């Protein structure tokens, strides 16, 4: 690149014009080789996907170099080296070694750093590649959800949930008919959620009882907080017995069920975020 730059200047081109021509050539090379769907790039095997390179390009366009292990462990690379080694062989990126192992990743040539920035600044291409990358992210998280759902199905969680819902529906009818049940033993008024919880086999809290010194917590809120938080102290019923969060599931499996539900919850949050970004990028493409 430097030799070509010197030749252009000696041939009478201005410094700016010579540099701009080299950058434009580099942009063409990157788009041709990095984002192609061909199985080979020149003499190199094409071991990476366009989405993988776009993820790396967005990082290198904003930083001089990025940590190798962070890129390798990201969702798109899944801890595998094939894509990164292929990009290095194609000279699209350069590996910086430390203690005889890859440590940092840089653009394959100094002029590629400028090319990466220019490509990222192209609104149409950037939006279309972001949509593709987000769809790949969504597909990966959807696969995690399906895997967790399959295990939950094996654990009979869904059937147990249906049975619990039936119990709750019946309990709601009883609450409506009672028009505000009065606890006979302590004279306290139960909230509908608390009464439903008692009928369903969980503990409800009374308003006005000695347990009322702590903030009253509805049964449904209690369920949500149990699944999607990490309490320091395990929750117990009033009798000091660990509650069965999902009726029909053995206590020994409750931890595994909660772990799987957290995976689903976390993955769905990521999907929602990427889906919202994708919709914005599609709107941007439509406005160009």
The C-alpha atoms of residue 29 and residue 25 are separated, in whole angstroms, by 6
| Sign of the CA dihedral running 56, 59, 62, 67 | negative
Please, are residues 84 and 68 in contact by the beta-carbon 8 Å criterion? yes
**92 Cβ contact list (under 8 Å, min separation 6):** 30, 33, 34, 53, 107, 108, 112
Cβ(151)–Cβ(273) below 8 Å: no
As a whole number of angstroms, the distance between CA 95 and CA 89 comes to 10
CA nearest 48: which of 38, 60, 62, 58?
Answer: 38
Structure confidence by residue, pLDDT tens digits, 226-243: 444 444 434 444 444 444
Give burial (CB, 10 Å; 0-12/13-18/19+) of 277.
Answer: middle
% of the chain beyond a pLDDT of 70 = 65
* Nearest CA-CA partner of 104 in 113, 95, 112: 95
pLDDT by residue (tens digit) across 80-105?
999 999 999 999 999 999 998 999 99
Report how far residue 238's alpha carbon sits from residue 22's, in angstroms, rounded to the nearest whole number: 75
CA distance 152 to 162: 13
Kindly indicate whether the domain formed by 2-121 is annotated with CATH number 1.10.10.
Answer: yes
pLDDT at 257 over 70: yes
Q: pTM score, two decimals?
A: 0.67
Question: For residue 111, what pLDDT is reported?
Answer: 92
The H or E element spanning position 65 is strand 65-67
Residue 156 is classified by DSSP as: T
Would you state the pLDDT for residue 53? 96
SS3 assignment, position 79: coil
Chain segment 183-214, per-residue pLDDT in tens: 444 444 444 444 344 444 444 444 444 444 44
Paired strand residues for 206: 190
Q: Where are the domains of the chain?
A: 2-121, 156-248
The C-alpha R_g of the chain, in whole angstroms, comes to 29
**DSSP string spanning 172-192?**
HHHHHHHTSPBPTTT-PEEPH
């Amino acid at each position: 690149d430097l030799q070509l730059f010197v030749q252009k200047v000696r041939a009478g081109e201005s410094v700016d014009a010579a540099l701009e021509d080299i950058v434009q050539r580099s942009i063409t090379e990157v788009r041709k080789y990095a984002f192609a769907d061909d199985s080979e790039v020149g003499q190199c095997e094409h071991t990476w996907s366009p989405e993988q390179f776009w993820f790396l390009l967005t990082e290198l366009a904003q930083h001089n170099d990025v940590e190798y292990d962070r890129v390798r462990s990201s969702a798109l690379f899944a801890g595998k080296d094939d894509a990164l080694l292929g990009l290095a062989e194609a000279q699209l990126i350069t590996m910086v070694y430390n203690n005889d192992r890859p440590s940092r990743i840089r653009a394959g040539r100094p002029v590629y750093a400028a090319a990466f920035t220019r490509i990222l600044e192209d609104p149409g291409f950037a939006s279309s590649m972001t949509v593709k990358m987000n769809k790949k992210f969504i597909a990966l998280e959807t696969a995690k959800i399906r895997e967790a759902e399959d295990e939950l199905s094996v654990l009979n969680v869904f059937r147990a949930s249906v049975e619990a819902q039936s119990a709750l529906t019946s309990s709601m009818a009883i609450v409506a008919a009672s028009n505000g049940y009065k606890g006979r033993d302590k004279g306290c008024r139960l909230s509908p959620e608390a009464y439903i919880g008692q009928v369903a086999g969980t503990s409800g809290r009374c308003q006005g009882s000695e347990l009322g010194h702590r903030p009253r917590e509805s049964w449904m809120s209690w369920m949500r907080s149990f699944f999607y938080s990490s309490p320091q102290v395990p929750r117990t019923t009033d009798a000091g017995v660990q509650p069965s969060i999902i009726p029909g599931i053995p206590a020994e499996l409750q931890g595994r069920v909660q772990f799987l539900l957290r995976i689903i919850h976390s993955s769905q949050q990521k999907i929602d975020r990427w889906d919202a970004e994708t919709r914005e990028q599609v709107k941007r493409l439509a406005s160009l």
